[in-house]
Amino acid sequence: MKLNLGGALLFAAAHLTACSSHEEASLISSELIEGDALPVPLTQSIGDGDEGRQVFQSREQGHCVLCHQIQNLNAEFQGNLGPDLTEVGSRLTPGQIRLRIIDYERVLSGVTMPSYYRVHDLNQVGDDYENQSVLTAQQVEDLVVFLSEQKGN
């Protein structure tokens, strides 16, 4: 079956408008989620692992190294609040990794891991950031490819 993601995003946009501004709204239609995974990519084109590495390390973008470490990653400081991701590509499918980056709350409630593709309480963000997620769809897909490649050595 071919899924029409454009339609899914439209659906989500309509849902967003209907939500009260106090709620946190997701950009993803729950109909696309299978168990603890989102198997459908957010973009038409496949992600780029090298770009994903940049996002993972960059202070301005994902800054995932604040909480995670990957052995052999050339990063100055890597945190340990979150799990070691050296072998995450063996542990999780791309779809599972995708949903965890997008919105971990959909996998497990009360998680520490921030949601990177969700619109947060619209009362708390400045006008410039309204309706913007932390990462772009492309950056999420780049991270999915990069992390899927991490199978230890």
Rounded Cα distance between 81 and 66, Å, is 8
Site for ligand HEC in 89-108 (CB under 6 A): 91-92, 97, 100-101, 104
Q: How far is the CB of 18 from ligand HEC (least distance, A)?
A: 28
Rounded Cα distance between 2 and 46, Å, is 16
Q: How far is the CB of 12 from ligand HEC (least distance, A)?
A: 20
CB 127 within 8 A of CB 24: no
Residue whose entry in the numeric block shows the structure tokens 């998680």:
111
Which one of 11-19, 28-36, 41-49, 110-118 is the stretch in contact with ligand HEC (CB under 6 A)? 110-118
7 near ligand HEC, rule: CB under 6 A = no
Contact characters 58-87, ligand HEC, x per CB under 6 A: ----xxx-xxx------------xxx----
CA–CA distance from 149 to each of 12, 19, 62, 85 (Å)?
A: 30, 37, 18, 11
Q: Computed from CA positions of residues 81, 100, 118, 19, in that sequence, does the dihedral angle turn out positive or negative?
A: negative
Q: How far is the CB of 124 from ligand HEC (least distance, A)?
A: 18
CA–CA distance from 99 to each of 12, 18, 36, 42, 93 (Å)?
A: 16, 23, 7, 11, 10
Measured from the CB atom, the residue of 7 and 79 that comes closer to ligand HEC is 79
Local structure of 136: helix, strand or coil: coil
Q: How far is the CB of 39 from ligand HEC (least distance, A)?
A: 15
Q: How far is the CB of 130 from ligand HEC (least distance, A)?
A: 21
Can you give the binding site for ligand HEC, defined by CB under 6 A?
Answer: 62-64, 66-68, 81-83, 88, 91-92, 97, 100-101, 104, 111-114, 116, 143, 147
